[in-house]
């Protein structure tokens, strides 16, 4: 069926003038509203105002203009239903065959830090109503919500005089996806603020049902494996330092699924450390750190981190919480890495890194964590088959004043520094995990073992293989020791202090083992399982 009438009411006016002209030249009557109508008239497109169609004025500052039976009857009528046709004739309703609508810029209004009243005013009502009506009636009506589809519509009309059912169905799916996303964005924002529009100081409630939405950043070459499809999506109101806000400033290849996952882990690890106090480098492989250290400079931190496990570092991800200078860049380019992320790079460093065409270089504007909950991601989402696990992010930090020394011997000053360092590191190691640390270097990292004592043994074995001196080191465990065996293993390699959550039914047995070996032990009361 050849379309005879189009309703155009758009917030994003990209390409709409040329599109409307093409429709008019094809003999299609144009109906429009407000600013869209003015723009089209100014550009010589004959337009019928919506109030002429409805015989009712736009009222309440434009809040009500298309919410009218002559609009929705024209959109929703079944063209082959005699009863619908009769009703239209009796009430003077004319069919609307093409609906061109995109929605008020709610997301952009929030991001531009407008007043709460302006944000609420940018919740579109008439637009989504028309979009849903036209999409529901795709058998007869074409809904156009994306300016990138204008060309396709005109080409079909010029070639065949109509728009195919296949195209109408495709556009309807896009339309419902748009309105679902739009409502989810509004919901996400409203659950982060109070009734006065002030951002909450605590994570929002876990609502039921859960509606979440993400915007696609890019399609990926593949997922974890070549036979899996992959794409990267980002949350909406996010402005904290994270992979979604990082900018790729060099690298011919696009980031892969595994690159992005590993960068996330590396970045979260270095963000544990205050960039104004400590220069930190972390090297990540398969989502686990294979080296992390504090240094006097970026290059010093990198060299110390690399010594922990230079074999595993091959093809890894490097993260810094401090700018990368020329000397550091020279050291990095001596080896093969997939990606590097840092808050900044000197000109000389960037020139050197760019000599590696496949090294992806990412930059963050800041490494400072945000306090504003409206701009941070409050939850972790873990997909399982048939469902989703949701939890608060593990953002808790140690308060040194609340740590409890449970042994006869207390840690000395150097041990305290290493204990706090190691506990920050072990938080980002897959469970069961332990970390040995000495002088601000994670000299042994035991990852993903099914028993804690195995994690302790593996980490010590790796440290010894790399020729690292363990005598006088400390040990951190992300969860309590269920038995004393891990303490006994730690004593064998020269551990002098241990930090762990505590809370085992055998805590007394574990503490007794530490006292026997003259090891200081500190309880944090905080567990950091990471599956």
Mean of all residue pLDDT scores within the chain: 92
pTM of the model: 0.87
Among 53-67, 81-95, 239-253, 268-282, the minimum mean pLDDT is found in 53-67
List the catalytic residues.
136, 286
Over residues 395-419, the pLDDT tens digits come to: 888 888 899 999 999 999 999 999 9
* Residue 4, pLDDT above cutoff 80: yes
Q: Give the confidence band of 370 by pLDDT, cuts at 50, 70, 90.
A: low
Neighbouring-strand partners of residue 434: 446, 477
Give, in words, the CATH class of 400-523. Answer: alpha beta
Strands, sheet with 48-49, edge to edge from the N-terminal-most edge strand: 48-49, 29-32, 5-9, 98-101, 142-144
C-alpha span between 104 and 17 (Å, rounded): 18
At residue 475, the pLDDT reads 97
- Strands 404-405 and 142-144 turn out to be unpaired
Contact 271, 241 (CB under 8 A): yes
Cα angle 127, 133, 139 (rounded to 5 degrees) comes to: 135
Q: In terms of CATH, what superfamily is 5-190?
A: Methylglyoxal synthase-like domain (3.40.50.1380)
Could you state, in order of their start, the residue ranges of all structural domains in the chain? 5-190, 239-363, 400-523
Please list, residue by residue across 29-46, b when 16 or more beta carbons sit within 10 angstroms of its beta carbon and e when fewer do.
Answer: bbbbbeebbebbeeeebe
Q: What is the mean pLDDT of residues 271-275?
A: 92
The reply to whether domains 5-190 and 400-523 share a CATH topology is no
Over residues 37-52, the pLDDT tens digits come to: 999 999 999 999 888 8
At residue 283, the pLDDT reads 97
* Residue 508, pLDDT above cutoff 80: yes
What are φ and ψ of residue 285, in 5° steps?
Answer: -140, 125
Q: Give the confidence band of 59 by pLDDT, cuts at 50, 70, 90.
A: confident
User: Long-range contacts: 12-15, Cβ < 8 Å, 24+?
Assistant: 12/102, 12/105, 12/147, 13/39, 14/147, 15/147, 15/150
Residue given tokens 């859960």 in the structure block: 210
* Residue 500, pLDDT above cutoff 60: yes
**Roughly how many angstroms between the first and final C-alpha of the chain, as a whole number?**
57
Based on DSSP, count helices (H) and strands (E) in the chain, helices before strands. 19, 21
Query: What kind and span of H or E run contains 283?
Result: strand 279-285
Q: Exposed, middle or buried by CB within 10 Å (0-12, 13-18, 19+), for 148?
A: exposed
The CATH number of 239-363, from 3.40.605.10, 1.20.120.160, 3.40.140.20, 3.20.20.140, is: 3.40.140.20
At residue 374, the pLDDT reads 61
User: Using N-to-C axis directions, what is the helix angle for 507-516 and 485-492, rounded to 10°?
Assistant: 20
Would you call 178 helix, strand, or coil by DSSP? Answer: helix
Over residues 312-365, the pLDDT tens digits come to: 999 999 999 999 999 999 999 999 999 999 999 999 999 999 999 999 999 998
Name the residue among 263, 260, 211, 256 with its Cα closest to residue 236. 211
């Amino acid at each position: 069926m050849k379309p005879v009438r189009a309703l155009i009411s758009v917030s994003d006016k990209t390409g709409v003038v040329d599109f409307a002209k093409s429709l008019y030249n094809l003999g299609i009557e144009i109906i429009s509203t407000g600013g869209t109508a003015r723009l089209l008239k100014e550009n010589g497109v004959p337009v019928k105002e919506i109030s002429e169609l409805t015989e009712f004025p736009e009222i309440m500052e434009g809040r009500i203009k298309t919410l009218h039976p002559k609009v929705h009857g024209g959109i929703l009528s079944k063209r082959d239903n005699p009863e619908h046709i009769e009703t239209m004739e009796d009430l003077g309703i004319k069919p609307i065959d093409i609906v061109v609508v995109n929605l008020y810029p709610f997301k952009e209004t929030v991001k531009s830090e407008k007043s709460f009243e302006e944000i609420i005013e940018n919740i579109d009502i008439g637009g989504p109503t028309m979009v849903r009506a036209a999409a529901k009636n795709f058998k007869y009506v074409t809904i156009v919500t994306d300016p990138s589809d204008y060309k396709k519509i005109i080409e079909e009309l010029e070639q065949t005089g109509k728009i195919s059912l296949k195209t109408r169905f495709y556009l309807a799916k896009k339309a419902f996806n748009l309105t679902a996303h739009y409502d989810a964005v509004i919901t996400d924002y409203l659950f982060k603020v109070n009734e006065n529009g002030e951002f909450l100081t605590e994570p929002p409630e876990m609502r039921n049902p859960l509606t979440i939405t993400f915007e696609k950043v890019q399609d990926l070459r593949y997922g974890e494996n070549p036979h899996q499809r992959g794409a990267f999506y980002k949350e909406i109101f996010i402005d904290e330092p994270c992979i979604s806000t990082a900018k790729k400033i060099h690298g011919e290849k696009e980031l892969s699924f595994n690159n992005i996952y590993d960068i996330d882990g590396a970045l979260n690890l270095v963000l544990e450390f205050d960039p104004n106090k400590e220069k930190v480098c972390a090297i990540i492989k398969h989502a686990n750190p294979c080296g992390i250290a504090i240094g006097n400079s970026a290059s010093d931190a990198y060299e110390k981190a690399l010594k922990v496990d230079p074999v595993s570092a091959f093809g890894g991800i490097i993260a810094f919480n401090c700018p990368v200078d020329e000397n550091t860049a020279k050291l990095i380019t001596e080896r093969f890495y997939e990606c590097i992320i840092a808050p900044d790079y000197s000109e000389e460093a960037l020139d050197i890194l760019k000599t590696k065409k496949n090294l992806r270089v990412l930059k963050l504007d800041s490494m400072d964590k945000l306090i504003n909950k409206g701009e941070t991601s409050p939850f972790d989402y873990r997909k399982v088959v048939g469902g989703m696990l949701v939890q608060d992010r593990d953002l808790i930090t140690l308060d040194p004043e609340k740590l409890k020394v449970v042994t006869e011997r207390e840690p000395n000053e150097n041990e305290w520094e290493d204990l706090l360092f190691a506990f920050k590191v072990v938080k980002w190691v897959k469970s069961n995990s332990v970390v040995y640390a000495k002088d601000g270097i994670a000299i042994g990292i035991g990852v993903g073992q099914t028993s804690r004592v195995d994690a302790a043994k593996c980490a010590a074995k790796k440290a010894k293989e790399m020729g690292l001196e363990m005598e006088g080191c400390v040990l951190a465990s992300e969860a309590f020791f269920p038995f004393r065996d891990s303490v006994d293993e730690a004593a064998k390699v020269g551990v002098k202090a241990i930090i762990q959550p505590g809370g085992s039914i055998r805590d007394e047995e574990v503490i007794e083992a530490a006292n026997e070996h003259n090891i200081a032990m500190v309880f944090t009361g905080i567990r950091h399982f990471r599956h």
